[in-house]
């Protein structure tokens, strides 16, 4: 009989601890999120019937948010690592927590899915959450005094470009050759070109035929496009178009340290 291979994965103590605490925290957060509405409705004797809750409008909302939730878990978790628990509990992922985590990992020159990277991402998400609470508390207290600022036309115009500017700079950083990890991916953006083409064509078709948009189907699109991007990237990698190479900056640093 051949020797049995040991397939057990040994995790770093910090990652093991963070996954354990993260699962417990997620369960507690879910209990709170579900229990609070029931407690409030019971106290005020306003408990709705099942027919009021499960109707066509509810299912329409679920058709949008269930695929979005699944696609976010699939696409964000590999980047966030064990900090994903805190990120999903606190929310506001795409336009705040994810950029904070990625930028923190880059600034500290750590790598994703390593104990160091997970620790840095966890701290970044935690600090971001605390700052969000502080800012919202100040905004609530000073709302009557600063509300006029948000009515200024220049501020309204600028606010429309905050998210595109944020993700534009983030994307440039991700695809730049100055990656701080030991490995760099060259021409990796070519792997998502088919996805961009497909989504652009679908958007044009929907716009021309019905005058609508694909916003309501964004969750389904992400789930459908992820395997396409992975398959395309793998094919291009096999053909040598996309390559994974040693980071020259890290190689020079190692040689200098020697």
What pLDDT score was predicted for residue 136? 86
pLDDT tens, residue by residue, 26-40: 999 999 998 998 999
Which range of 127-131, 168-172, 213-217, 229-233 scores highest in mean pLDDT? It is 127-131
On the question of pLDDT at 254 being above 80, the answer is: no
144-159 b/e with 16+ CB inside 10 Å = b? eeeeeeeeeeeeeeee
For residue 243, the cross-strand partners are 186
Question: In this structure, are residues 115 and 14 in contact, taking their beta carbons and an 8 Å threshold?
Answer: yes
pLDDT tens, residue by residue, 59-106: 777 777 777 788 788 888 888 888 999 999 988 887 788 888 988 988
Name the residue with higher pLDDT: 73 or 222. 73
In total, the chain counts a number of residues equal to 258
Q: Summarize the confidence of residues 164-186 as an average pLDDT.
A: 60
* Whether this model's pTM surpasses 0.75: no
pLDDT tens, residue by residue, 5-55: 555 556 788 888 999 999 999 999 999 998 998 999 999 988 888 888 877
């Amino acid at each position: 009989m051949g020797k049995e291979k040991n397939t057990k994965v040994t995790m770093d103590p910090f990652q093991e601890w963070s996954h354990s605490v993260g699962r417990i925290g997620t369960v507690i957060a879910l209990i709170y999120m579900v229990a609070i509405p029931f407690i409030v409705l019971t106290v005020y004797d306003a408990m709705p019937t099942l027919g009021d809750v499960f109707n066509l409008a509810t299912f329409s909302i679920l058709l949008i948010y269930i695929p979005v939730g699944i696609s976010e878990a699939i696409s964000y978790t590999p980047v966030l690592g064990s900090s994903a628990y805190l990120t999903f509990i606190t929310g506001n992922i795409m336009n705040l927590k994810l950029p904070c985590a990625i930028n923190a990992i880059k600034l500290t020159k750590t790598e994703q899915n390593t104990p160091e990277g997970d620790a840095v991402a966890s701290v970044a998400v935690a600090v971001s959450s605390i700052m969000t609470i502080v800012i919202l508390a100040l905004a609530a207290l000073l709302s009557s005094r600063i509300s006029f600022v948000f009515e200024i036309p220049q501020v309204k115009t600028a606010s429309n470009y905050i998210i595109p500017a944020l993700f534009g700079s983030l994307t440039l950083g991700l695809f730049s050759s100055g990656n701080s990890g030991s490995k760099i991916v060259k021409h990796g953006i070519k792997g998502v070109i088919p996805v961009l083409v497909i989504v652009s064509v679908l958007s044009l078709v929907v716009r021309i035929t019905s005058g609508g948009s694909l916003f309501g189907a964004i969750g389904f699109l992400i789930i459908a496009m992820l395997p396409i991007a992975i398959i395309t990237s793998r094919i291009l990698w096999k053909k040598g178009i996309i390559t994974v190479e040693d980071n020259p900056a890290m190689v020079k640093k190692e040689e200098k340290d020697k």
